[in-house]
Amino acid sequence: MSGVITQNVDMLHLKAGSRRIVDLHGTYGVVTCLGCGHRRSRWALHDDLDALNPGFAERVASRGAIEVAPDADAVLADTADFRMVDCPECGGVLKPDIVYFGENVPAARVAAAHELVDASDVVVVIGSSLTVRSGYRFVRRAVSTGKQVAVINRGRTRAHDEADLAIDGDCVDVLRLTDAAL
């Protein structure tokens, strides 16, 4: 496997040991400034927020469970006394380095994903319906450049008609069978 292009923002591919990863929609592990584009670790921001809001995390935790969304945002009822950290470079507003609905995928990420597709022999889509155009475009690129495409997904995907191989099934089960066969 030469690399992974993922639409997930949860860093699971990195945690699983993949090293060449294009996080197409970004990752919750990085924050970026809306003003100047400065990027920094979300954990460094966390340390700064803790210093600026001493005891806040403990107070919130003592009031019950914190609901955490898939993009790592936390749903909190009481934030009245919370103070936010500004960009250390320009004082601008920081946000998770995640492409939200309506935003464009940065051109550099698209280019990195195109390079990965172009350098591959086969593009394998695993566990995605490819409903979102930002992921589907790489199947289109693979097909247009003569690459083979395989799809493993529970249910039909947007790429089924273009795929050389489509397997309808649970990704984990299919990949375990593939691993066992090797």
Average pLDDT over residues 21-26: 94
Is residue 37 situated within a structural domain? yes
Tokens 């979300």 found at: 42
User: 83 and 111 in one domain?
Assistant: no
Could you give the residue numbers annotated as active site?
A: 25
User: 137 and 93 in one domain?
Assistant: no
Domain boundary among 62, 77, 98: 98
- What is the pLDDT, as a whole number, of residue 182? 56
Give the range of the structural domain holding residue 53, as residue numbers without chain letter.
Answer: 29-98
Domain boundary among 71, 98, 125: 98
Domain boundary among 98, 123, 150: 98
Task: Please give the Cα distance from 27 to 33 (Å, whole number).
Answer: 14
- What is the pLDDT, as a whole number, of residue 24? 94
- What is the pLDDT, as a whole number, of residue 50? 92
Count of structural domains, the chain: 2
Of 1, 18, 33, 9, nearest in space to 116 by CA: 1
Residue 63 has pLDDT above 80, yes or no: no
Tokens 């795929």 found at: 163
User: 84 and 54 in one domain?
Assistant: yes
User: 155 and 139 in one domain?
Assistant: yes
Three-state DSSP at 165 gives: strand
Q: What angle is formed at CA 129 by the lines to CA 162 and CA 138, rounded to 5 degrees?
A: 55
- Top-confidence range, 71-80, 86-95, 99-108: 86-95
Contact assessment for residue 126 and residue 135, using Cβ atoms and an 8 Å cutoff = no
Residue range 132-149, pLDDT digits in tens: 888 899 999 999 999 999
Chain center to CA of 178: 25
- What is the pLDDT, as a whole number, of residue 77? 67
Task: Please give the Cα distance from 30 to 7 (Å, whole number).
Answer: 15
- What is the pLDDT, as a whole number, of residue 81? 81
**CATH assignment of the domain containing 141:** 3.40.50.1220
Is residue 73 situated within a structural domain? yes
Q: Which two tokens stand for residue 15?
A: 């945690």
- What is the pLDDT, as a whole number, of residue 135? 86
Task: Please give the Cα distance from 49 to 3 (Å, whole number).
Answer: 34
**At residue 120, what are phi and psi to the nearest 5 degrees?**
-90, 160
